[in-house]
Structures are given as structure tokens and as C-alpha cells.
Amino acid sequence: MNTPTHHQFLDTSGLLCPLPVLKTRKALANISPGHTLLVRVTDPGAPQDITMLAKKIHAHILNISHEPSQNHWDILISSQPQT
């Protein structure tokens, strides 16, 4: 599966709730409409929390991938929903 390239990268590795969500929200507020943000998280609850954030602010989760060997998730988010 091809995932879109990202425009901005946010590494929240090592941060626990609620910091990954707060930093993601701030980063999404600062990117251009239609651009994407790739967020790397290590907190196991962060993918679900960031998914809920995306719904709340009308962003769109494009992809969530998990790398168990490196204990992180990559979450690709569009700053606006796809039409």
C-alpha cells in the first residue's frame, strides 16, 4: 500500500498522554489546509487518542502503521477531511 508523502513530521516518542495529542493538535493548526502531518508516537494509547482528536477537529487519518520491533506507531493525518 502506498501512503502519501508527508509535509511535516512530529516525533512524540517517549511522551505520554496527553502530550502527543496536544502537540499533534498544535502542529495541525500550523500546517496549510490539505497538507499532511506524520506523527510518531510510542504511547500505546496515542493512536486512539489522536484518532479521536482528528474526528473532533475534522481532520482525516490517512494511515496508521505499527512497527512492533521498534515499539512505535506512525500516524499520517491530513489537515482537512478528504472530499
pLDDT in tens, 20-46: 999 999 999 999 888 999 999 999 999
The C-alpha atoms of residue 20 and residue 1 are separated, in whole angstroms, by: 26
What CA–CA distance (Å, rounded) separates 80 from 71?
28
CATH class in words for 8-78: alpha beta
Listed residue (74, 20, 29) closest to 52, CA to CA = 20
> Which residues are known catalytic residues?
17
| Amino acid found at 58 | H
- Asked whether residue 62 carries a pLDDT value surpassing 90, the answer given is yes
Whole-number Å distance between alpha carbons of 62 and 36: 9
**Taking residues 61-82, what's their average pLDDT?**
89
CB contact at 8 A, 8 and 35: yes
